[in-house]
Structure 1
Amino acid sequence: MSTEAVTWAMDHAPMLRTEKGKPDTTARHVLQVLAEHASPTGTDAHPSVLRMQYRTGYDRATVQRALRRLEKGGLIAKDGMKESRTRWKLAMELRRPVTDWADLEREEDEFRAAAAERKRRSRSKGVTHAESVTVTDAEGVTVTHEESVTDDVTHSKSVRHALKVRSSRTERSPNHPQPSDNQLLKDSSPAAEPDEQQAHAATVQTKSSSEKTDHQLEAFGAFMIVYPKKREREAAKKAWIAAIERGADPTHMVEAAKAYARERFGQDPKFTKYPATWLNKGCYDDEPDPQPGPQLRAVPGGWNAPNRPHPATGAAAPVPTKEDYENARPF
């Protein structure tokens, strides 16, 4: 492996761009594999396509397309054949322009400024604006119109930070385009810390959700007490929570369970629904069964029964005598 060729491929070789202007990382990866198999002068690089597939993880067609892009971009050139494989020569005289690093710095500045702006807007949403704001410094200045005061005070810190960073980078000598390791560590720090106000709001929301769940489970306990069949409690709990998520009222379900218990009182328990089934089917919204009316029974003698009026004339039927009872025959 040639250290000189690898260093050139990783740090100094010009960066190819895709049609959309993005860095062609696929071609750059293939170029690094060629550099690993080249001499210190960048010649005699002849790894097989299979070897490049193994090192990059790309398929055969992807590797071949990357080679054609590198050749078209002037980074590599064919230098004959060796062992039935194409031999490549790396254009190590080509160097990456210094402006690449300046472009990266500019993109980093824009990213940090956008992050600071998002943080400023997030904080401004949580500020309660008064009709007037009075700001008094050592010289006794009074300012009204809270919108201008909020923009100036909140935005000034982020602007000063961005200008300070840009100024320090502009003063860097063009002969040393790349920063030191300490500068890289500093630049890799997060642009914005998590907002404490958002974290507090999330904590309050979680606490409220937990209290609501506890209240629902307390109501579930009352439901199980009054429900006429105590079976499959865990399945019933899941069905209870699902019913509440659908919009059911816990108090209504408890009252409906009481009514169902009264309806099933004295009935065969094997026909009583399990609580999970009752909840999943939404039986808490069913109308209660009507109460049974008085039982009617047949009276012997039809309309001739004692004191029953005749359906046509309205005359009362004769009262049967003792002989009538003795001579009566069963139906």
Structure 2
Amino acid sequence: MSTEAMNWAMDDAPMPRTEKGKPDTTGRHVLQALAEHARSDGSNSHPSVLRIQYRTGYDRTTVQRALRRLESAGLIKQDGTVDSRKRWRLAMHLVRPESDWADLEREENDFRAAAAERKRRSRSKGVTHAESVTVTDSKGVTVTDAESVTGDVTDFAPSRHALNASPSRTERRPNHQQPSVNQLPKDSCEPAAHESDVGKPSLFDEQAASVELTEEQQQNIDFAAFYAAYPRKVGKGNARKAFAAAVKRGAKSADLVAASAAHRDNWARCRTEMRFIPHPATWLNGERYDDELPAPSALRATGTGGYEGPWTEPEDPSDYDGDL
């Protein structure tokens, strides 16, 4: 395995495109599998289709189509055969344009600006300013001016209203305890207020506002679930940015969490080494969450620590070339 070829396939190689113009993440994954078997100059890469299936988890038809797309894009070229297997040369002279990174940064900045604007609007909607509040009970108590309860108070009952003033020290009982509820004046509907409580908002005047999560808070929760499910914990900051960029492109955060768990289970079934599992940011930027994964029933244990699919090697090795 060549480090130069792997770095080129993962970071520097141009992003292949599908017929619809979308990033071909499946083809890029197959290109990385070819780079693992190439020399430092990108030559002499001849893994079998079965080996690529084992490495990527794709079925045979998906691998063959990806190879044809890579060859049409000029990223690989056949230069012979080795043991009836096609030998490929990687076009390592092709480099991904710098505009790809600039576009991602611009999308990230636009997303952050939009998130900040949504947060500002959400805060502005949650603040209300009441200039006056009128509270009237059965005895005709009226309070004007919400910021001060020292305004006009009218009480038509002959006895002093409990909201008007607190009991004086001479009116306290000998044991200095507050009177019970039954001992309050008949016309009062609330317990007596202390002088220090005058001017403070009452809990009976307004209901507690319901707590609603903003989009940014919900996205942070979903990212935490995604990062917990993803098996390789590397570059959490870059992963967070890539997660936000994926949501900006239209992916649902809940789908990203489910896809990371599905890929984790697939890597576990295929016994994929940790060093071959992409970083979470690379997985997100490559839109690997849209990759086709084989069904669990398509893999069975061989008894030697690995897995193989239902396909068996043909008697005629030329079948490798005929299908590609």
Q: TM-score, with normalisation over the residues of structure 1? A: 0.39
The higher relative CO (CA closer than 8 Å, separation ≥ 6) is in 2
Q: TM-score, with normalisation over the residues of structure 2? A: 0.40
Structure that is richer in helix per residue = 1
Instruction: Give the greater-gyration-radius structure (CA).
Output: 1
